[in-house]
């Protein structure tokens, strides 16, 4: 995590504004819609934390694809640097834009972004990396579109429970050593990211709630990154070998990195010679991800990845664009497809995804 204090000092600060009261109605939201761009094409800045992240790359494309003609959207990639993103936003604000759509590099960086946008009177829609509630409350023209990480952890656990037969007292043959405990490796995303923390906690919590015993052999932080997961899982595969009955990954990219290394180290053979890799092969080991990347869907079809939980960037992109249209005075609040919670949050559901022949 980068230190956001330095950034805070260099950006203007002023007194805190009151948060919107909880449960505020769409009617109240409408009062905040701006009509400033009524004359020309609205100018919108789309700020991505890092296009090297495949989920974010897909997400950015979905937002651009969902934008109606007549929206001038300028996209920026911060290459995983909050100071770079701050500079991009600062320069863009000089162009007097109508709206900022921001995927912050560091969720704590949202504080300075909100302060800066408020000084310039430009509303902000955050997505994917949720600012702290206290920062969201700094100004009443700040929104967040995202998915609840708690749901993804729970759904991931459901997929595993189903695979192991659904009965905690009698696990099926995927419990290779027959001890009624699932021996697992965990690949965690970036420390401090709401999705990494909550997904890891909730997947384990869900097993516990359903009385499934899971032994975490090891947990590695691989920062959402495929190459890092590929590197970091290597020694774990060597250390634990066939004791590993499950690999839980906080996202698909890391799951795919793990699978490449597993394949390279001799996992996933078509042992029964039926021409496909599938769970009937004795050394097939379930790997579960989250996101629903195209590459993950492909790996599911090929039999390497057991399943994923779709982190629906298309629906979130549509919600962001509808909200943008509303904020720019081009859509009525009542015509938003998604519900706005607490006056500023739009939540999109995760959905499980496994192979369906
Ligand atoms: C998560 C996603 C990860 C990563 C991260 C970046 O929601 O599951 O793959 O892209 O966002 O903030």
Domain that holds residue 207: 149-311
- My answer on whether 131 and 265 are in the same domain is no
- pLDDT, one tens digit per residue, over 292-328 is 999 999 999 999 999 999 999 999 999 999 999 999 9
Centroid of ligand 1 to alpha carbon of 130 (angstroms): 11
Whether the per-residue pLDDT at 58 is higher than 60: the answer is: yes
- Work out the pLDDT band at 21, boundaries 50, 70, 90: very low
Predicted pLDDT at 315: 98
Please check whether residue 123 lies inside any domain of the structure. Answer: yes
- My answer on whether 178 and 128 are in the same domain is no
Predicted pLDDT at 39: 56
Please check whether residue 76 lies inside any domain of the structure. Answer: yes
- My answer on whether 161 and 307 are in the same domain is yes
Please check whether residue 36 lies inside any domain of the structure. Answer: yes
- My answer on whether 75 and 163 are in the same domain is no
- Closest residue CA from atom 11 of ligand 1: 128
- My answer on whether 220 and 266 are in the same domain is yes
Please check whether residue 324 lies inside any domain of the structure. Answer: yes
127, 133, 325 from 26: Cα distances, Å: 20, 20, 14
Which atom of ligand 1 is least distant from the CA of 54?
10
- Closest residue CA from atom 10 of ligand 1: 55
Which atom of ligand 1 is least distant from the CA of 146?
7
- Work out the pLDDT band at 356, boundaries 50, 70, 90: confident
Please check whether residue 357 lies inside any domain of the structure. Answer: no
59 lines ligand 1 (CB under 6 A): no
The number of domains in the chain is 2
- My answer on whether 137 and 235 are in the same domain is no
- My answer on whether 113 and 229 are in the same domain is no
| pTM for this model (two decimals) | 0.88
Sign of CA dihedral 206, 211, 216, 217: negative
Contact residues for 81 (Cβ-Cβ < 8 A; gap 6+): 2, 105
CB atoms within 10 A of CB 242: 13
Average per-residue pLDDT in the chain?
89
Centroid of ligand 1 to alpha carbon of 79 (angstroms): 14
Task: Find the CATH number of the domain harbouring 231.
Answer: 3.40.50.2300
Centroid of ligand 1 to alpha carbon of 224 (angstroms): 7
Please check whether residue 211 lies inside any domain of the structure. Answer: yes
Please check whether residue 204 lies inside any domain of the structure. Answer: yes
**Percentage of residues of the chain with pLDDT beyond 70:** 89
Centroid of ligand 1 to alpha carbon of 128 (angstroms): 7
**C-alpha span between 55 and 313 (Å, rounded):** 8
4 lines ligand 1 (CB under 6 A): no
């Amino acid at each position: 995590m980068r230190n956001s204090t330095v950034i805070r000092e260099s950006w203007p600060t002023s007194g805190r504004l009151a948060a919107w009261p909880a449960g505020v109605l769409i009617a109240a939201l409408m009062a905040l819609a701006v009509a400033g761009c009524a004359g020309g094409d609205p100018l919108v800045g789309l700020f991505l934390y890092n296009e090297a992240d495949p989920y974010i790359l897909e997400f950015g494309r979905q937002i651009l694809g969902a934008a109606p003609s007549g929206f001038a959207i300028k996209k920026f990639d911060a290459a995983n640097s909050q100071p770079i993103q701050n500079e991009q936003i600062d320069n863009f604000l000089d162009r007097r834009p109508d709206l900022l759509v921001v995927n912050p590099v560091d969720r704590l960086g949202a504080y300075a972004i909100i302060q800066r946008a408020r000084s310039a009177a430009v509303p902000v829609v955050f997505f994917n990396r949720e600012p702290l509630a206290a920062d969201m409350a700094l100004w009443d023209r700040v929104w967040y579109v995202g998915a609840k990480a708690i749901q993804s952890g729970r759904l991931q656990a459901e997929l595993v429970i189903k695979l192991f037969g659904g009965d905690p007292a009698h696990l099926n043959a995927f419990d290779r050593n027959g001890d009624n405990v699932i021996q697992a490796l965990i690949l965690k995303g970036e420390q401090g990211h709401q999705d990494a923390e909550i997904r890891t906690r909730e997947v384990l919590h869900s097993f516990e709630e359903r009385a499934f015993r899971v032994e975490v052999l090891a947990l590695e932080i691989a920062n959402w990154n495929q190459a890092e997961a590929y590197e970091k899982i290597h020694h774990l595969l060597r250390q634990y070998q066939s004791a590993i009955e499950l690999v839980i990954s906080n996202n698909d990219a890391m799951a795919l990195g793990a699978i490449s290394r597993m394949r390279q180290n001799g996992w996933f053979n078509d042992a029964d010679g039926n021409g496909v890799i599938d769970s009937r092969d004795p050394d097939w080991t379930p790997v579960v991800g989250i996101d629903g990347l195209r590459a993950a869907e492909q790996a599911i079809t090929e039999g390497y990845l057991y399943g994923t939980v779709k982190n629906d960037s298309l629906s979130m992109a549509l919600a962001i664009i509808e909200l943008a249209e509303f904020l720019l005075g081009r859509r009525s609040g009542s015509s938003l497809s998604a519900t706005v919670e607490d006056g500023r949050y739009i939540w999109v559901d995760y959905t499980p995804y496994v192979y369906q022949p």
